[in-house]
Structure 1
């Protein structure tokens, strides 16, 4: 960590950070929401520019570009689903199966933005693979792999199958929301091809919960 910026990796082309929960990835629409990961990164790396985003309440591995080429190259990898993403979450309840897939289309809930909702007719395809890592005390620790990148996808998909993420202020019931003081969703690892060397890289950050 350098100062207040949680740096995992930096070179002449990319900057990989461990985003804390409660911090926007990019500035919000009002002056009081100007503080964000991108602006903090630019205090130390003036060329830093966002490639993808994590929800404000989600923590974990995120990559920023330091060149236009890096932004375009890695951005295409995200668009073509060539990156490898794994999240860890704590969810309410005990799942009977060890693995599964949620295939449930998502669309913005316009009257209640930024909330999303499941819409089999008008929603965009959204697929999440999941695996149970640990069970106990009415809580399951999950590994989540999003095969698509819809807004709030993991949060909504877990709630959709009856196992909302602890601390989720959008999709969890009041009791589940109160079990933790933060959203228990963490981007544990991210893999992609380096835009200059062509090397396959994977960066990790242990979940803080």
Structure 2
């Protein structure tokens, strides 16, 4: 049996993905809906769990239940995850900006516009395709689609990612992410003038109930999310900030900045439809990454300058003041 993460950006929980059909017991908190309880104790999405419930792949006391069933204290819940589909992900000779590499891991500066791993609509041209061409010995914990991938950043966000070459390195690094001990800071340009020099957004993030393609600050079926921000420079109608993550929820910085009414410039999902500079994607860059090396125990910190497109926007902003 192989341990896999079913990942959102946090990858907080393990659940075993079998190589063949079998059932696993899952311990959940009582008093909640069945789908919500399973989503909270695993990293499976609620929609994926609802699909499993419809297929009767979730049993309560050996009986199928509906998604809105309220879990009782003594309930025994079993779940059957279908075996992962075996797909060929082909190596591709694509440019890779490798910041650091050793026998255990790589640190890569991902360009804006590159998807991290294959998914429907993007089976090639991804970071994983490039990594497979560069090296064959990537961690197998996340299967054939996401070898070596421990955490992600959005397609149109540039910046630093750590990639595991071995399963042992993957486990160590994933544990650090789970414990929120991996340091991650971003640079961004946001709409409007932020009045305070710094601040913290402590607001839970979950699926937007009005648009399932988006995340939002919601207080039901959500997970805690904390973002610290620091003003770097103010322009006439925009602010450059540094954002530091305590957690790593999907679209966290983009959602939190939009929640503050300061959406990230160029964000096609959470920002204004009008794009004043005609850029593709949000002006957001994962600038700094720090973690403890899984073999040596050394604290390692890496920094990558923002890409040319980010610097061009800053230059335009400075010239417009």
**1: CA distance between counterparts of 2:230 and 2:99?**
26
Instruction: Note if contact 2:208-2:218 (Cα within 8 Å) is conserved in structure 1.
Output: no
Listed as ranges, the matches of 1:126-145 within 5 Å are: 126-145=225-244
**2: CA distance between counterparts of 1:203 and 1:180?**
30
**1: CA distance between counterparts of 2:243 and 2:278?**
19
Listed as ranges, the matches of 1:8-47 within 5 Å are: 8-30=99-121, 32-47=122-137
Deviations 1:110-149 (A, max 9, x none): 6634310111233211110000000112111000011111
- Map of 1:4 onto structure 2: 95
The structure having more radius of gyration, on CA atoms, is 2
Instruction: Note if contact 1:166-1:179 (Cα within 8 Å) is conserved in structure 2.
Output: no
**2: CA distance between counterparts of 1:4 and 1:191?**
24
- Structure 1 residues 14 and 117 mapped into 2: Cα distance closer, same or farther (>3 Å)? same
Structure number with higher relative contact order (C-alpha < 8 Å, ≥ 6 residues apart): 1
- Map of 1:90 onto structure 2: 189
Instruction: Note if contact 1:100-1:129 (Cα within 8 Å) is conserved in structure 2.
Output: yes
5+ unaligned residues in a row in structure 1: which ranges? none
- Map of 1:205 onto structure 2: 304
Instruction: Note if contact 2:185-2:243 (Cα within 8 Å) is conserved in structure 1.
Output: yes
SS at match of 1:41: helix
- Map of 2:277 onto structure 1: 179
RMSD of aligned residue pairs (Cα, Å):
1.6
Instruction: Note if contact 1:166-1:180 (Cα within 8 Å) is conserved in structure 2.
Output: no
SS at match of 1:121: coil
Q: 1:178, CA displacement in angstroms?
A: 4.0
SS at match of 1:50: coil
- Map of 2:152 onto structure 1: 53
5+ unaligned residues in a row in structure 2: which ranges? 1-92, 139-147, 311-321
Q: Could you tell me the TM-score, scaled by structure 2's length?
A: 0.62
- Structure 1 residues 180 and 105 mapped into 2: Cα distance closer, same or farther (>3 Å)? farther
**2: CA distance between counterparts of 1:142 and 1:134?**
7
- Map of 2:205 onto structure 1: 106
Aligned length, in residue pairs: 206
**2: CA distance between counterparts of 1:140 and 1:56?**
23
Deviations 1:55-106 (A, max 9, x none): 1111001010111111110011001101111000000111110000111111
Determine which structure has the larger strand proportion and give its number.
1
